[in-house]
């Protein structure tokens, strides 16, 4: 069982920061999400055969390439002073659909070096701050300038190693969203309240008609940490 308060796996009397399997992921795992729920929401296939959303700090290592890949993820976890690493939901769901369609399959070349932007690196302290995420109304702006009112849940995190904000989230399903989101990795802009719009990507649809959205560089909503840093610099 994964303890979300301490970011540790509890196995009997043993508490481990990271759990690594040496056999392919089969059967149930007790993570943040029930195994059946995770499969229904994010697909049956672990990302690159290595990681699944809903099962943080859990990897499957079956060969040397996978070992190097996971080692790089854990190095980043340490370097960023974080306690949890988890593949992003849209990354796994898109990959799982590609596997089902015969477009993608786990391969040695693809697993040598991780794209760290595909993972969320957080700590329990960061997640305890209630004002880090945003839930509420937003406006999506299409390439032709068409504006669509939507409801979103976003989480933006400042990555100090990269000196950059990366954010991702989900847009609630609606008929207006279905008309707007037609393509995979579709560029848009998003505006919240009276803040300037920021660039974003509508990655893909989820099984319920919602859409996953990602962006980097600027947060679409105010981040208290960045505001505090700006105040100190001033």
The token pair that represents 24 in the structure block: 């392919």
Grouping H, G, I as helix, E, B as strand and the rest as coil, residue 116 is helix
Q: Is there a contact between 169 and 153 (Cβ–Cβ < 8 Å)? A: yes
Q: What is the pTM of this model?
A: 0.57
Same domain, 109 and 139: no
Rounded to the nearest 10 degrees, how much is the dihedral formed by the CA atoms of 98, 103, 107, 113?
-60
Same domain for 34 and 90, yes or no, is yes
| Residue in 88, 89, 120, 92 with CA at minimum distance from that of residue 106 | 92
Tens place of pLDDT per residue across the chain (234 aa): 788 778 888 877 788 999 898 876 544 455 554 455 445 445 568 898 889 888 899 999 988 889 999 999 999 999 999 999 999 888 888 888 888 878 777 554 556 689 998 999 988 776 665 457 888 999 999 999 999 999 998 988 877 767 788 888 889 889 999 999 988 789 999 999 999 999 999 988 876 788 989 999 889 998 865 544 444 445
Same domain, 217 and 192: yes
Counting Cα atoms < 13 Å in the Cβ hemisphere of 94 gives: 16
Looking at 160-219, which runs of residues are DSSP E strands? 164-171, 186-191, 198-205, 211-216
CATH number, domain with residue 120:
3.50.50.60
Q: Domain range for residue 107?
A: 2-126
- Look at residues 93, 101, 2 and name the one whose alpha carbon lies nearest to residue 45: 93
| C-alpha distances in Å from residue 48, one per residue of 45, 99, 169 | 8, 10, 22
Are residues 21 and 120 both part of a single domain?
A: yes
Same domain? 139 vs 216? yes
């Amino acid at each position: 069982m994964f303890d979300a308060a301490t970011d540790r796996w509890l196995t009997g009397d043993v508490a481990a920061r990271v759990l690594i399997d040496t056999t392919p992921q089969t059967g149930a795992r007790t993570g943040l999400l029930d195994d059946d729920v995770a499969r229904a929401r994010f697909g049956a296939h672990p990302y690159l055969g290595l990681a699944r959303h809903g099962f943080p700090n859990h990897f499957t290592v079956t060969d040397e390439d996978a070992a190097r890949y996971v080692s790089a993820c854990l190095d980043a976890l340490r370097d960023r002073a974080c306690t949890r690493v988890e593949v992003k939901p849209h990354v796994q769901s898109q990959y799982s659909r590609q596997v089902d369609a015969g477009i993608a399959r786990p391969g040695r070349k693809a697993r040598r070096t991780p794209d760290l932007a595909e993972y969320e690196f957080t700590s329990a302290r960061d997640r305890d701050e209630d004002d880090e995420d945003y839930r509420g109304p937003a406006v999506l702006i299409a390439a032709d300038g068409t504006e669509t009112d939507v409801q979103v849940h976003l989480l933006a995190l400042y990555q100090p190693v990269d000196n950059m904000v990366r954010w991702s989230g989900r847009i609630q399903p609606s008929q207006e969203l279905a008309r707007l989101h037609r393509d995979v990795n579709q560029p848009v802009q998003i505006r919240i309240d009276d803040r300037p719009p920021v660039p974003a990507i509508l990655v893909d649809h989820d099984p319920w008609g919602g859409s996953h959205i990602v962006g980097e560089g600027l947060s679409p909503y105010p981040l208290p940490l960045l505001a505090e840093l700006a105040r100190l610099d001033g």
